[in-house]
Copies of this chain bind each other. A is one copy, B any other.
């Protein structure tokens, strides 16, 4: 079943009010990293998979893309994107990544910011991406790092940061690395589901589908982020995200 947690009203409210502060890990760790991999967009067509409220979609349109299609499974999110981040070059479509059907349109660049870990069938996703890319096109995506998703949460309150009695973070716990699949946890609401995949699965699936790896990033915080959210220093201790740029070979 395709997950649509962003249409849960409690989650949606909690998530959007958090993101709108502009003071999240996304703002200072993930977004600067994925943007650093996006090339000059002048005249390029872009597809944004799991566009959410359209922040990155709008960024692409503002930076010269000739056309941007943003898709998301959540109608809440698509409505918010249309309201907050509309642009004459952008078309927003409410659909699951897995169901995407764009009548043989192809794109110069496909981006996806922190959505791939919500998709159960990663090989199918990558196959779709390859078919939607023009020759020599780029697929640039960020996802939860396998180090971050590996350990099953044994109870709702268990955390992967192991702390001492005073709450100091001693280390990050890894386990179940090669048990790929569902990880359910509490994030604003119960039962948010992500899919854990090993690093080798993430990379080899791209290669097997004719995508050539160009860069892998495990981002840390920007200096501004460290100033505004001191705990982002912990990104040095273990990476939360991995960001991958690959190119379709001809």
**Residue ranges of A at the interface with B (Cβ–Cβ < 8 Å):** 147, 150-151, 162, 170-179, 198-200, 203-204, 207, 212-218, 220, 235-239, 242
Contacts and interface: CB of A to CB of B under 8 A. Distances in A.
A199 B218 contact: yes
Contacts of A179: 236
Contact of A215 (B170, B204, B235): B204
Contact of A203 (B174, B216, B238): B216
Contacts of A242: 199-200
Given A175-B237, A177-B238, A200-B242, 17 more contacts: A147-B147, A170-B173, A171-B174, A173-B174, A174-B237, A176-B236, A176-B237, A177-B236, A177-B237, A177-B239, A178-B218, A178-B239, A198-B239, A200-B218, A204-B216, A207-B214, A213-B213
Given A147-B147, A171-B151, A216 B200 contact: yes
Contacts of A177: 147, 218, 236-239
Instruction: Give the top 8 A-B pairs by smallest Cβ distance, nearest first.
Output: A171-B173, A172-B174, A178-B236, A171-B175, A200-B216, A213-B213, A200-B218, A174-B238
Contacts of A213: 203, 207, 212-213
A217 B200 contact: yes
A177 B148 CA distance: 12
